Amino acid sequence: MDEPSSRDPTERGGLGGAAAPPGVAPSRACAYAVVRRVFEGGAWADRALHGEARRLRLDPRDLALATRLSYGTVQRVATLDHVIETLSGRSTNKLDKPVLAALRLGVFQLTYLDRVPAHAAVGESVELAKRDAPRGAGLVNAVLRRAGREARGLVAKLKDTTPQQAALAHSHPEWIAQLWFDALGAPDARALMAADNEPAEAVLRANTLKTTAPELLERLSIEARLDGDALILDDAFDAFSSREWEDGLLMPQSRGAMAVARLLDPQPGDRVLDLCAAPGGKTTHLAALMGNEGEIVAVEQHPGRADSLRKTAARMGATIVDVHTGDAAQPHAKNFDRVLVDPPCSDLGTLASRPDARWRKAGRPEALSELQQQILRAGANALRPGGTLVYSTCTISPAENEQVVSAFLATHPEFTVDDLGTRLPLWKHPTMPQHLQTLPHRDRTDGFFIARLRRDA
């Protein structure tokens, strides 16, 4: 999970009006505004939600519902639009934007949520449309009343035998469905797409430079189970608004992401090179595992993200982190004991927690693998003989993962691969068991690829 930007433009208001209209629950008004910002303004769903929730002053319960409503609607939009077009007889391209947003939100609730009363899903969507597009409110009312009777049946009839059918039934772009049918086989591809539409597991890492997991749990007074330095939460929690976040006591981070620093296994006193480091979840984890003894050179190209990483490291008391703003693909100083290469990737392992990511055009695997290979080579050059390198991505895509590592090994005989398959038995790579590939439907965490290499000479 990424840290939201320090200044969220959605806080300034605009789309969706300043307050919940009379008769509309704040959680639904919030979700409607988020859906509009994502599809009309290109906003990131997590940032839009953060801004809207603050503006509407949502309490934790309302925030949990707003998250479910907005994330679910954004994720399932392809299936929702199919239902809307079938029931209205119109193309969604022809509908006014507020009408479409109100319909999507209403159809999502009527089709996928069991505990939301139909009258609230219909009535409040109509109120939202009345405020922003009064002439469309009749259409919203008519389509949602039909949806209450027919939408679940329509969706139940959708097949997912081919990638094209699965893309519609599980609301993913066709290219992702095709990629996963090819890489994982149809049963895993279908299960993975279904898992992407469920709420992501919420996990916090206790920053052991400042606290312990049991202490943090007591301080937050939330329900969670402990797993080492991780708190696995029963419910969503707005970490970025908490006092404990301000105090640097925690980092929201999935279990898959936490496995990366653990498997690099840095020791106190090591010199560590961390390539592509912002927002710094893994950098600060490395510092904690090292007990703040040694040195971490964290390289990040984007100046704003590098600055924010410096602030994060300071807030979390990770004093051994030295942030360099620069290109990780260029040569670095030599003789590091450990190197982490965590390059930009297509993010396909995080579609449950980043609901809009699947609909963005940027970040296709084929466009990324060349840069990933360059950064891996630069990191490998900086490693001392006998040192350890971890290559990780938060994606499920052979072109960015196993093919990058295989191409590297083919030209670097001085490197060997560690067998990680026996360490975390659940998380074996489906076809290359020495690597780890977490899969959301199987492991209930983000999809991370992790390969660990050793330099022999």
Q: List phi, psi (to 5°) of 318.
A: -90, 80
Which tokens hold the place of 71?
């994330």
User: Applying CB under 6 A, does 302 fall inside the site for ligand SAM?
Assistant: yes
Please count the residues of this chain forming the interface with ligand SAM, following the rule CB under 6 A.
17
Residue with tokens 């704003």: 304
Q: Which among 21-29, 155-163, 323-331, 436-444 is the span making contact with ligand SAM, rule CB under 6 A?
A: 323-331
Spatial distance between the Cα atoms of 441 and 418, rounded to a whole number of angstroms: 25
x/- map, 255-294, ligand SAM, by CB under 6 A: ---------------------xxxxxxx------------
Active site annotation includes 394 = yes
Answer for which of 78, 327, 360, 364 binds ligand SAM (CB under 6 A) is: 327
Residues 6+ apart with CB under 8 A from 265: 289, 338, 388
Q: Is 410 exposed, middle or buried (0-12, 13-18, 19+ CB in 10 A)?
A: exposed
Residue ranges for the binding site for S-adenosyl-L-methionine? 276-282, 300, 342
User: Applying CB under 6 A, does 82 fall inside the site for ligand SAM?
Assistant: no
Answer for which of 299, 316, 396, 451 binds ligand SAM (CB under 6 A) is: 299
x/- map, 93-112, ligand SAM, by CB under 6 A: --------------------
User: Applying CB under 6 A, does 354 fall inside the site for ligand SAM?
Assistant: no
Answer for which of 45, 264, 313, 328 binds ligand SAM (CB under 6 A) is: 328
User: Applying CB under 6 A, does 147 fall inside the site for ligand SAM?
Assistant: no
- The active-site residue out of 147, 203, 249, 394 is 394
x/- map, 155-194, ligand SAM, by CB under 6 A: ----------------------------------------
By the criterion CB under 6 A, which residues form the site for ligand SAM?
Answer: 276-282, 299-302, 305, 327-329, 342, 344
Catalytic residues, by residue number, are 394
